[in-house]
Structure 1
Amino acid sequence: MELRLLITFEKVASVLSFTRAAADLRYAQSSVTSQIRALESSLGVELFERLGSRIRLTEAGERLLPYARRIIELSDEARAAVVETGEPAGSIAVGTMESLTSYRLPPLLELFHHRYPKVRLSLRPTLGDETRQALRQGTYDIGFLMEPDTEHEGLESEVLAEEPLVLVASPRHPLAARADLTAADLAAAQLVGTEPGCPYRDLFEESLSQWSPPFMEFGTIEATKRGVAGGLGIALVPRVTVSEELASGALVELDWRPPFTLFTQIAWRRGKRLPAHVRLFVEQARRLVSEQQG
């Protein structure tokens, strides 16, 4: 089996699309199709079922996939061990969410941009379930999660920090001067939040499920903050995202603590041998987030 055929197979198996695989690999789609056919011919089995415009792995394809990934990873490891470049180099596909990208990761991104210019970072904005699935499939190399659970099926993960959450409002909001707020008080107010799937939005909504309050949805943290500052409602957000607004008085913290805890984590596929430049990324993420906490 040729390595290039296995690389193409692994990419198609990860994204389940010949078109997307061709774009990611920078091949013509006909080249991807011919390479898969060549691999199937050499093995004497079909690796994909064609279902109209969709494809899925056959049983043989499912059995081959973990071996293909191990061979590719070993090949990358061997190349890194033999070829000394003198500085870290390679690509890293990173799944992350907006609040982390904007408020936790800038020092890490700046470090790699200036100190390790041969490491190419590709940030993919996704939320928890999608990030975990992409890591298991090998579409992402590394993923940042903000979750209450710290164990994830098929993944290795490391907690970088407990992520403090804060309920915020405009200083002019009626609840701003109230103490000992209850869940019923919050459910009676206008709630502002990011889109469903955001972990702190979903957990906040679940904690108020007895009242089923409606949320005014904003697509981003920045839009949510502007809406709250404008008096449109109250929102639960990571403290790191509103530290400047709290310090300036543009927003105030309400007297309520969420009944759940979130942890910012870094994760990768279980059993994956991380190349040196990816291990460096993990080490620097660990260090910089720890310094932020200090």
Structure 2
Amino acid sequence: MEFQQLVTFQRVATVLSFTRAAADLNYAQSSVTNQIRNLEASLQTELFDRLGSKIQLTDAGQRLLLHAERLLALADEARADVAGPAEPSGTLTIGTMESITSYRLPPLLELFHYRYPAVHLALRPSLCADTCRALRQGTFDVGFLMEPDTGHAGLDSVVLSKERLVLVAAPSFPLASAPTVTIEALRKVPVLATESGCSYRDLFEIELTAEQLTPASFLEFGTIEAIKRGVIAGLGVSLLPEITVADEIASGSLTVLPWTPPFEVVIQLAWRRGKRLSRELQLFIDQTIRLVREESPAS
């Protein structure tokens, strides 16, 4: 069992593709295949089940992956210790969403831009379910989630803050003058929303659809900015994170309706369980916890 074989095995086990692993490692696919076959021969066991064009780890492969992660992490520590301190560098691929990128991350992005210029943060717009999938597959290094659940199979995560949601409308909209707003009243007005798969939109849809024969009807807009413009124009109401509409509420172009969601969501930072945390990734996690929590209102 050779060290380079473990590097190759770890990458194949992460992306579950010989082709993608070869591209990531800049190897010929035949080289990756041969390394895995030689590793299996030295261990006298199969590490992958070949299912046509797909592969998955065997039980032995899953056990070896845990050891490989620890050995590779130890090698990184040894290399860093011998080489001495150096400037953090490399690329971190981050799954995120519009509301977090635009309203929570600017202080963090500014910090990395000026203090760690050799670290490239590649932000990838993604819904929560897609982010979780990409983290498990190794496509993303780390990801932001906004949903009620705080436990995710195969992932480690930390809660950064609660995200307060508010129902907004234009001041001239009929419901804006109502002393209270009921779910029955909301079923009768247009609702502007993000695409399906956004956690708070889906939870709102469940509330609107409960005990109804037909599903709730939403006007789907591509971005939060587009939603806000539509609501300001009087097209309907929308449930959004308070931070995304704070300026419009302060200026009077939007008003908060007297309706409190019977659910809440939290912002989380997640990464694949058992993943080797490089110095750069650990730095990103630590700074995110510090800055995003610092910028968030007290729960």
Q: CA deviation at 1:104?
A: 0.8
Q: Is the 8 A contact 1:163 1:263 kept in 2?
A: yes
State the percentage of identical aligned residues: 60
**One-letter code of the match for 1:218?**
F
1:68-83 maps to which residues of 2 (within 5 A)?
A: 68-83=68-83
Sort the Cα spacing of 1:191 and 1:271 in 2 relative to 1 into closer, same or farther, 3 A: same
Tell me which residue corresponds to 1:180.
Answer: 180
Normalised by the size of structure 2, how large is the TM-score? 0.87
The alignment of Structure 1 onto Structure 2 pairs a total of residues equal to 294
> Secondary structure of 1:242's partner?
helix
**One-letter code of the match for 2:35?**
Q
Comparing 194-203 with 124-133, which one deviates more in the overlay? 124-133
1:240-279 maps to which residues of 2 (within 5 A)?
A: 240-272=243-275, 274-279=277-282
1:89-117 alpha-carbon deviations (Å, 9 max, x no partner): 34433222222122211221121122101
Tell me which residue corresponds to 1:49.
Answer: 49
> Secondary structure of 1:161's partner?
strand
Q: Distance in 2 between matches of 1:101 and 1:125?
A: 9
Q: CA deviation at 1:138?
A: 4.2
Pairing 1:40–2:50 present: no
**One-letter code of the match for 2:231?**
V
1:265-288 alpha-carbon deviations (Å, 9 max, x no partner): 222344555333322222221222
1:121-270 maps to which residues of 2 (within 5 A)?
A: 121-210=121-210, 211=212, 212-270=215-273
1:198-227 alpha-carbon deviations (Å, 9 max, x no partner): 111111112222233112222332332233
Could you tell me which runs of 5 or more consecutive residues in structure 2 were left unpaired when the two chains were aligned: none
Sort the Cα spacing of 1:123 and 1:240 in 2 relative to 1 into closer, same or farther, 3 A: same
Q: Is the 8 A contact 2:8 2:36 kept in 1?
A: yes
Q: CA deviation at 1:244?
A: 2.3
RMSD, matched Cα: 2.4
1:50-91 alpha-carbon deviations (Å, 9 max, x no partner): 333322223332332222222222222222233223433344
**One-letter code of the match for 1:101?**
T
Q: Distance in 2 between matches of 1:167 and 1:239?
A: 9
Q: Is the 8 A contact 1:188 1:213 kept in 2?
A: no
Q: Is the 8 A contact 2:172 2:234 kept in 1?
A: yes
Q: Is the 8 A contact 2:48 2:56 kept in 1?
A: yes
Q: Distance in 1 between matches of 2:84 and 2:45?
A: 39
Normalised by the size of structure 1, how large is the TM-score? 0.88
**One-letter code of the match for 2:31?**
S
1:17-73 alpha-carbon deviations (Å, 9 max, x no partner): 223323333334343333333333333333333333322223332332222222222
Q: CA deviation at 1:260?
A: 1.1
Q: Is the 8 A contact 1:154 1:270 kept in 2?
A: yes
Sort the Cα spacing of 1:228 and 1:156 in 2 relative to 1 into closer, same or farther, 3 A: same
**One-letter code of the match for 1:22?**
A
Q: Distance in 1 between matches of 2:243 and 2:27?
A: 42
Q: CA deviation at 1:137?
A: 4.5
Q: Distance in 2 between matches of 1:120 and 1:36?
A: 31
Q: CA deviation at 1:132?
A: 2.9
**One-letter code of the match for 1:231?**
G
Tell me which residue corresponds to 1:99.
Answer: 99
